[in-house]
Amino acid sequence: MSSIPTTTTSAAGFFRIPPPPHRIPAAGVRMMAGALQSNASSVGTILTNLQHESATPLPVLRHVADAMTEDMRAGLAVEGGSDLKMILSYVDALPSGNEKGLFYALDLGGTNFRVLRVQLGGKEERVIATESEQVSIPKELMSGTSEQLFDFIANGLATFAEVEGGNFRLPHGRQREVGFTFSFPVMQTSIDSGILMKWTKGFSVSGTAGRDVVACLNEAMERQALDMRVSALVNDTVGALAGARYWDDDVMVAVILGTGTNACYVERTDAIPRLNGTMSASGMTIINTEWGAFSNGIPLTVFDRDMDAASINPGEQIFEKTISGMYLGEIARRVLLKMAEEGDLFGRSFPEKLTTPFILRTPDLCAMQQDNSDDLQAVGSILYNATQVESNLSSRKVALEVCDAIVKRGGRLAGAGIVGILQKMDQDSKGSIYGKQTVVAMDGGLYEHYPQYRGYMQRAVEELLGSEISRNIVIEHSKDGSGIGAALLAATNSKYEH
């Protein structure tokens, strides 16, 4: 597990004198024809070690699920009691279906920024109309200043709000209200305020940590002369739970698997020792686990350790770094690079581009895994387009094995995490989770687009729960995602009568 020494991968060097400088420095230069012979034994050793060290047999999954349950309890007992922050969401009432009116939502994820408006028509009409837009977050804003980032967001929202018409109607004299989905760890201080604890997912924006992100947004909206009010600050998992619950009362857990990962669930206030007996009117509240920070018992390889050491948050977000979309491609690139350096996977030399961090993306792994052809032509061109390496059939097969090992571990660990949450809830409610239908709402680009990942996750849940209980646990894609959820929570917390 995490304590197993992982230097064994370098045993490949035993077969060769220290590798010569392989890289071709000039950009765009590729290897010469006829150089595609790989050192099969080194490549084989690296692959076998990878598969061995990232393996997640049932006992490992069980350990991870149990550790997740324990860490949840420890985090609920005392502030800072575990890796899991178990953040109070201040969402004590879930959407009822009676919500009416025009509401906006704004979602800052790790890759994309979305704006949405929805016209709600109450129990009968439900969602009358929605409209949304999505833009990717410019790279330079991820490491700029807080003002730059929030100005970009406020500007996007202002532009979107300008073109409101058709089915969307705001009663005269009312201010537009927006639910702000912010998918980074925030210590929530009320339903409409919260302090950013730290940036994750590659963001290192200066001047936001320790500040109220709603105030940051309000100030930027003022600079844009945009007259809107943030009536709910929601984590994306909480938005996803609210959005799914609007349609289905059996939804108890929501999980995001996108650029990053997180999970939240419906908790009873009497099961939160930290609250010292303070009850919500409903007796329940949503807890945002921030499970990306979980680290207990995760099988790690030298590639994970190296990636973590080179990251902007070393030692943090270990679960996120093994299961979420931002990192799977990068772990695979590191393995392929090692195979190229020590085992000539792509011939005697390889392009410099393969040494560029994050050049191979998780959607690339996904696309490669969809190639069922005999010659793996698509795998070859995806590898070439991403990294400029030339491959033959055997190196393409190896690349697929590498993807599979990493994606399998990611999916299976995500499944174990889900069981950890369900098992905590079931133990506390004496069987009311496993004994009836319980829905886990899923959202995020990784879950949505990666069928192999989804399959591994689902099978891990079934292995852990057994076939009988598994029948009661429904894992489903939450159709409207966190966007509508945030708008619904803006409605629930509207300053106007509703």
User: Residues interacting with Mg ion, by CB under 5 A?
Assistant: 109, 236, 258
Partner whose footprint covers residue 449, from Mg ion, ligand ADP, none (CB < 5 to 8 Å by kind): ligand ADP
Q: Which of 453, 470, 431, 409 is nearest to 61 (CA)?
A: 409
Comparing CB distances to ligand ADP, the nearer of 39 and 89 is 89
Contact footprint for ligand ADP (CB under 6 A): 109-112, 183, 258-260, 325-326, 362-363, 366, 444-446, 449-450
| Bridge partners, 268 (sequence order) | 284
Comparing CB distances to ligand ADP, the nearer of 203 and 246 is 203
CB of 236 to Mg ion, least distance (A): 5
446 touches 325 (CB < 8 A): yes
Q: Which of 43, 50, 47, 33 is nearest to 349 (CA)?
A: 33
DSSP state of 145: B
DSSP state of 244: H
CB of 95 to ligand ADP, least distance (A): 21
Comparing CB distances to ligand ADP, the nearer of 101 and 239 is 239
Partner whose footprint covers residue 326, from ligand ADP, Mg ion, none (CB < 5 to 8 Å by kind): ligand ADP
SS3 313: coil
CA distance 4 to 291: 23
Comparing CB distances to ligand ADP, the nearer of 16 and 449 is 449
SS3 435: coil
CA distance 111 to 243: 21
Q: Which of 107, 76, 486 is nearest to 287 (CA)?
A: 76
Q: Which residues contact 73 (CB under 8 A, 6 or more apart)?
A: 82, 424
Comparing CB distances to ligand ADP, the nearer of 200 and 388 is 200
SS3 260: coil
189 touches 152 (CB < 8 A): no
Q: Which residues contact 430 (CB under 8 A, 6 or more apart)?
A: none
CB of 392 to ligand ADP, least distance (A): 25
Partner whose footprint covers residue 392, from Mg ion, ligand ADP, none (CB < 5 to 8 Å by kind): none
Comparing CB distances to ligand ADP, the nearer of 358 and 496 is 358
CB of 444 to ligand ADP, least distance (A): 4
CB of 258 to ligand ADP, least distance (A): 3
CB of 111 to ligand ADP, least distance (A): 4
By Cβ distance, which residue is nearest to Mg ion?
A: 109
CB of 6 to ligand ADP, least distance (A): 25
Comparing CB distances to Mg ion, the nearer of 238 and 335 is 238
